[in-house]
Amino acid sequence: MRLFVNEKEHEIMPDAVESLAETLRMRLHLTGTKVACARGECGSCTVLLNGRAVYSCLTITNACAGASVTTIEGLATPGALHPVQRAFIDHDAVQCGFCTPGQVMAAVALLAATPVPDESQIRRGLSGNLCRCGTYPRIAQAIRAVSGQLEATDGR
């Protein structure tokens, strides 16, 4: 099957029930997508599938034929982080970092759908992504900064 990941075409032959997370990590060696629960409960595996945030651990690769997938590795451009990635750093929204790729991808999807989200929209947009370190206030700050609701800061 053909799969477009981070704007590159890949011809792959996944197993019948292989998850997109497995394909990304094991076949394509894109290890930024994390798998913590493998049950769709934590959001660490969030990627964009045709622009929509999905749990890649619950998405069967064979159902993605011809689709466009964006992973955390596909956000930055050479020499420049994506604005959401930059804001997570500037607002110190990262602690252990395990949830960060999924949080960033969910934030990118939220901002694409709602460019200036209010607090309830931010909470709803990220509700499927758990952070065991509890950096939710700083994640929300980062999102508000990208949407122009906050001045850039180093978060400290």
* 152 pLDDT higher than 80: no
Assign domain 83-146 to its CATH architecture: Orthogonal Bundle (1.10)
Summarize pLDDT for 25-57 with one digit per residue, the tens: 999 999 999 999 999 999 999 999 999 999 999
- Percent of residues, the chain, with pLDDT higher than 90: 96
Reported as a pLDDT band with limits 50, 70 and 90, residue 133 is very high
At residue 12's C-alpha, the angle toward residues 1 and 108, to 5°, is: 85
Architecture (CATH level 2) of domain 2-74: Roll (3.10)
pLDDT tens digits, 73-120: 999 999 999 999 999 999 999 999 999 999 999 999 999 999 999 999
- List the chain domain ranges: 2-74, 83-146
Mean pLDDT score, 10-34? 97
- Confidence band for 125, pLDDT divided at 50, 70 and 90: very high
Per-residue pLDDT at 127? 95
CB 141 within 8 A of CB 105: no
What is the per-residue pLDDT for 151?
Answer: 62
- Checking if the pLDDT of 150 tops 70, the result is yes
Q: Are 47 and 69 in contact (CB under 8 A)?
A: yes
